[in-house]
Amino acid sequence: MTDAAPNPAFDYRPPDSPLDIIHADEAILVVNKPAGLLSVPGKGDHLADCLIERIRAAFPQVLLVHRLDMDTSGVMVFALTPHAQRHLGLQFEKRQMKKTYVARVWGEVAEASGEIDLPLCVDWPNRPRQHVDFENGKPAQTDWRRMKIEAGTTRMRLYPRTGRSHQLRVHMLALGHPILGDPFYATGAARDYPRLMLHAESLKLRHPEGGKGLLFRVPVPF
């Protein structure tokens, strides 16, 4: 789930909201990223405002560990020491981090739960869009569970087992239920929402100093 730089024609208007710090200690910083804010700077001065730069004003030593798409809100962890950055990076690489997302998707999902195993790669003519590609794609797996039906839409809890760019967005599209408000993959009425209805609800990790298991959770804002 990496940042997707907006289309050059996109009018970037990041939210003017204060930092929402969930946890801070000598090694890690956990924040609630708002929707509409890049995780890291994009290309050009007009895309310089981003979460890590806002954090840097208060924590100059901040180091990047992972990203969320600009349109996605929720839990992000940053490192405050090189050791913590390496430790957390390895947890992501070895798939030891446990991430949970909540999404609202178009249509009524019939099944109670399932899994999606579809390889993904960049759709080069339409970057930064991704697509399913069985020949060139990298493995991507998502487990999901239906939470409830809401007026012709479905609230889902998503459990990515890999972290490909736009993974949850493309996998929900492949399921036949695009995420509401998705500017890249939703069409028609499914796209007509004020934001992407995707939120990183929780993140479970081991603290880089001592290995204690920690669970961070942010309420879903939609």
pLDDT of residue 3: 52
| List of domains in the chain | 21-217 (3.30.2350.10)
Continuous segment of H or E residues that includes residue 170? helix 167-174
Alpha carbon separation from 172 to 104, 115, 168 (Å, rounded): 10, 11, 6
CB 73 within 8 A of CB 199: yes
Alpha carbon separation from 130 to 30, 118, 162 (Å, rounded): 28, 12, 15
pLDDT of residue 211: 95
**CA-CA distance, 89 to 189, in Å (whole number)?**
39
CB 54 within 8 A of CB 181: no
188-193 long-range contacts, CB within 8 A, separation 24+: 189/106, 190/106
State the greatest distance between any 2 C-alpha atoms of the chain, in Å, as a whole number: 50
Burial 69-84 (b: 16+ CB within 10 A, else e): bbbbbbbbbbbbeeeb
Which residue from 78, 71, 98, 104 is spatially nearest to 214, judged by alpha carbons?
A: 98
pLDDT of residue 5: 46
Q: How many CB atoms lie within 10 A of CB 176?
A: 11
Q: Which residues are known catalytic residues?
A: 69
- DSSP assignments along 84-118, one per residue: HHHHHHHHHHTT--EEEEEEEEES---SSEEEEE-
Token pair, residue 107, equals 């249509």
pLDDT in tens, the chain (222 residues): 445 544 544 789 999 999 999 999 999 999 999 999 999 999 999 999 999 999 999 999 999 999 999 999 999 999 999 999 999 999 999 999 999 999 999 999 999 999 999 999 999 999 999 999 999 999 999 999 999 999 999 999 999 999 999 999 999 999 999 999 999 999 999 999 999 999 999 999 999 999 999 999 999 999
